[in-house]
Amino acid sequence: MSISLSTHLRNSMLGTVGFDGAFTNGIMELYSGPQPTNADAAVQGTLLGRVTVGAGAFTPGSATNGLNFDAPSGGVIAKAAAEAWQTLGIAIGTVGWFRLKGNATDAGSGSDTTHARMDGTVAISGGDLNLSNISFIVGTPVTVDVFQFTLPAA
């Protein structure tokens, strides 16, 4: 599977909110197992980590430790270069996919068409998100060095 955008995110991108606005001060969750069939679908697998700035505590509705993006260029938007996107493992397992979520309260575990979500695969290479380590252990830090989304021209 590859990148999947939720109904709400697609509507936001076509409206005035845009991709950056939908995910400002958001969070990325990393799960074991296969990616759901679409970003509106319920979570599959075990939550292994929550990526925030500096692996800090995150509270929906608060900007503290939420993830941000730099200004887009050439149809590409990338993680804010000034931010260290990190997580500490919260369970043991192998990461298979991610869910990027906006800052609104979104349990993210059930079927939902009212929140901005983006799902994608995780691998050491060849994934939508590549990490140097996909085998998580509780308390082990993992950093997201590169994350970007490209809006195709055609």
Task: Express each pLDDT in 89-107 by its tens digit.
Answer: 999 999 999 999 999 877 6
Angle at 10 (CA atoms; ends 4, 11), nearest 5 degrees: 155
Q: Note if the pTM is more than 0.75.
A: yes
Neighbours of 131 (CB within 10 A): 23
Rounded to an integer, what distance in angstroms lies between the CA atom of residue 70 and that of residue 139? 29
Distance between start and end Cα atoms, the chain: 20
What pLDDT does residue 104 have?
84
pLDDT at 62 over 90: yes
Taking CB atoms within 8 Å and a gap of at least 24, the contacts of 69-74 are 69/19, 69/20, 69/23, 69/24, 72/19, 72/20
Please report the pLDDT score of residue 9 as a whole number: 94
Q: Is the pLDDT of residue 45 over 90?
A: yes
